[in-house]
Amino acid sequence: MSNSRNILVRSLFCFIAVLAAATAGAQDAQPPVAYASVSELNGILTQLKQTAQSMQSDLGKTRIEKWKTDGATKRQTLANVESIQRNLQSALPETIAQLNNAPEDLGASFKLYRNLDALYDVFGSVVESAGAFGSKDEFQSLGNDMTGLESARRAFGERMQKLAASKEDELTRLRAQVKTLSAAPPPPPKKIVVDDTEPPKKPAKKKPAKPKSPATTTDAPPTASPTK
């Protein structure tokens, strides 16, 4: 059953990751988030924050060093508790803040759900060990926290599915619009008339030649006949 759940979760992660990447470019153009969506998210996050605070408090009260088990089990459980507390104090508040800034962002939603899934697995092993080796009060307190975590995780998972389906529908509409636009005949090209004919050049008028002045002839003086 656990393997089937892990396969289903991984498949959901892959689908949402691909869908988030496909719709990432359209985030800026999306309309404002609906009030119902914000209200639903706030309810889930409020429950999750309350559960996280209770988990930190109950883990701090758990005396693992007094459990009736071997040292290896105690060390492993203590390491798991430290990992959970770091997550609750740092990683979880950070992802919640990111989602508050973008309530329907698939990337931020995917990141929070993945974190919840990791918390659920590690905290579940601590609760199981508490039931086997801890006191009755420790097991009951941690068990109540586990129930709250599972409830918040399940509610957020259902929101993720609805959000992914909505984004998929939006992506399908966008693809249909693109297909319609690409199938429409392109507008006829505008005709640009270029008049590349030059008017014939008029022949250059030749200037009239100036009349040549007649050459002046000088009469040679008569040659004197020689006297005998």
Q: Which domains does the chain have, with CATH numbers?
A: 2-22+34-169 (1.20.120.230)
What pTM does this model have?
A: 0.64
State which amino acid sits at residue 157: G
| pLDDT bucket at 27, cuts 50 / 70 / 90 | very low
Q: Which residues contact 91 (CB under 8 A, 6 or more apart)?
A: 115
Of all residues in the chain, the percent with pLDDT exceeding 90 is: 52
pLDDT of residue 46 exceeding 60: yes
The more confidently predicted of residues 66 and 197 is 66
Residue 197 to residue 194: CA distance in whole angstroms:
9
